[in-house]
Amino acid sequence: MGKLKQRRQVKGVIALAVTIVVLFTAVLVTNYFKANAAEETTNHKNNENIKKAVAANYLNEKPEKELHRKHQEKAMASSRESTDTTSSDIAATPPASNATASQTTPTEPNANQTQPDGAQSAINNKTVFLTFDDGPASFSGEIVTLLEQYNAKATFFMIDGNIRRYPEAVKLMVDSGHAVGLHSVSHNKNAFYASANSVLGELNQNRNTLLEISGIDSHLMRTPYGSAPYMTDEYKAAVAANGYLMWDWNIDSKDWYYKDERYVNSVIEQMNAKANHSGPFVILLHERKETLAHLPKLLDYLKQQGFELKAIDSSMVPVQF
């Protein structure tokens, strides 16, 4: 009887142990699936947040350029030829300065100061103005060197802080016979376009900095993202009254979008579509490494087609949207 009782006790202990193991395993399995479910839920939420952030970034940044492009295309829809002619015929000679900006208004434009050389030769549909925005940059010297190899002149619309960051690049542009102009201080639509005073204030600071660094008192300017749709009639009147010459473009390379050699194909397609227009081509480019990498292809095409690549000067009638 003693052995039987002992066996029963052992079986009871084993049964209890098995029960504990089963229960413990069940708890582990349950927690495992709960943890996985929670992780999947978290990952899903994170993915959704990432998607929302990417979408927000796309909506807030890239469409800035798309917006002015669509605005321009809508305005030009009726006729490519007539639009090009109209944009080239917009009056550019400003009245005397009567600025209301908070900064001191610089002196009136001086054509000898703003024009590098040889600007008064004939301008027609075989003339190309290559314009580079957002510089200067650490590789601006490479752009200048490449342009020299093709005997090409260009115009650089530069941001205030970058002028101070790369002063030697600015001086090289001037010494090499290129035109230099203004492209704001903030390059922020909310800050720049807040009022007529903010527009003039940024242009005046930009201009004073360029004069300090390069010795060039330039009135050539391009607004952030182009003049449409943010430059109101009031703003346009204010910049004209202060002697500024506002330039847009009629060929958008879209190098800011493609960021590879496709921007060259885009330029060629647009130029072919405007083959019969009556004025010069003004090509929008940016000081980007990707733009520089494929710039030889564009320059080869332009030279092969017999285009003259010139710099903008203050005596020319601006191309505007």
pLDDT in tens, 69-122: 554 454 444 333 333 333 333 233 333 332 323 333 444 444 334 444 444 446
The pLDDT score that the predictor gives to residue 23 is 72
Reported pTM = 0.67
Q: Looking at the predicted structure, is the pLDDT value of residue 246 above 70?
A: yes
Residue spans per domain, the chain = 63-309
Q: By mean pLDDT, which of 13-17, 239-243, 291-295, 313-317 is the weakest?
A: 13-17
Backbone angles phi, psi at 221, to 5 degrees: -150, 155
CATH architecture, domain defined by 63-309: Alpha-Beta Barrel (3.20)
Q: Which amino acid is at 150?
A: Y
Closest CA to 244 of 312, 314, 175, 291: 314
The phi and psi torsions of 266 (rounded to 5 degrees) equal -65, -45
Q: Per-residue pLDDT tens for 120-147?
A: 446 888 999 999 999 999 999 999 999 9
